[in-house]
């Protein structure tokens, strides 16, 4: 349960900085990426685990970082999410390990999928973005057609940090006491 609380705190700090400044600080994500595998190893050691079990705990934490960072990294390559979001998802994967890290990631994307359209409606850009998204989707199935949504100057950006925090908080609530 301590790892759930740490992950929620980590995501909460990231959400505040992402909302205020539009970035997630490297000191936050990198320190979690380094500390989480060590903490899992120390926790296993404190429980009297053998050396192989301690190394397994460290390895599972590193695997969580790699797996939970993969999809956001691919989205980052396409310009669909920020680098801080990638590092935050990887850090959460290291803290929560693969299964809970992926659960938090899925909930984060659900929350974002719900609130982004509301934000677009609030900004008055929902119909324009919807039209460009449909045109881009149709264009993906045509041969050698230009992508009408490929103009980065017209991109609509939202901080993903608050959605990541909400997904992590939901994961913590749903897994509390297990």
pLDDT tens track for 58-116? 999 999 999 999 999 998 898 888 999 999 999 999 999 999 999 999 999 999 999 88
Of residues 53 and 81, the one with the higher pLDDT is: 53
Task: Report the percent of the chain where pLDDT is more than 70.
Answer: 92
Average pLDDT over the chain, rounded to an integer: 88
Q: How does DSSP classify residue 78?
A: T
pLDDT at 57: 95
CB hemisphere CA count around 160 (13 angstroms): 24
* CB burial of residue 178 (10 Å; 0-12, 13-18, 19+): exposed
- Residue 48, φ and ψ in degrees, nearest 5: 80, 25
pLDDT at 147: 53
134: Cβ contacts below 8 Å, ≥ 6 apart: none
Task: Evaluate if residue 126 carries a pLDDT over 60.
Answer: yes
Give the length of the chain. Answer: 178
Tell the residue number behind the tokens 């264009």, with chain if given: 139
- Residue 26, φ and ψ in degrees, nearest 5: -60, -35
Task: Evaluate if residue 152 carries a pLDDT over 70.
Answer: no
Number of Cβ within a 10 Å radius of residue 167: 24
Rounded to two decimals, what is the model's pTM?
0.85
Of residues 167 and 119, the one with the higher pLDDT is: 167
Residue 45 tokens read as: 């050691």
What is the residue extent of each domain of the chain? 2-106+160-175
Q: What is the mean pLDDT of residues 2-13?
A: 95
Asked if 132 and 154 touch (Cβ cutoff 8 Å), the reply is yes
Angstrom distance (rounded) from CA 107 to CA 112: 9
Asked if 170 and 11 touch (Cβ cutoff 8 Å), the reply is no
Of 12-26, 53-67, 124-138, the poorest mean pLDDT is in: 124-138
């Amino acid at each position: 349960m301590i790892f759930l609380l740490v992950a929620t705190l980590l995501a909460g700090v990231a959400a505040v900085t992402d909302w205020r400044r539009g970035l997630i600080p490297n000191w936050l994500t990198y320190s979690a990426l380094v500390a989480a595998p060590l903490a899992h190893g120390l926790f296993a050691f404190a429980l009297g685990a053998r050396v192989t079990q301690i190394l397994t705990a460290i390895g599972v934490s590193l695997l969580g970082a790699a797996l939970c960072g993969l999809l956001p990294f691919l989205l980052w390559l396409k310009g669909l999410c920020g680098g801080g979001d990638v590092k935050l998802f990887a850090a959460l994967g290291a803290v929560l390990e693969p299964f809970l890290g992926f659960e938090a990631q899925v909930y984060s994307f659900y929350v974002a999928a719900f609130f982004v359209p509301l934000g677009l409606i609030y900004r008055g850009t929902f119909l324009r973005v919807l039209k460009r998204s449909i045109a881009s989707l149709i264009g993906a199935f045509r041969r050698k057609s230009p992508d009408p949504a490929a103009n980065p100057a017209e991109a609509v950006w939202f901080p993903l940090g608050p959605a990541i925090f909400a997904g992590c908080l939901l994961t913590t609530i749903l897994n509390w006491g297990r």
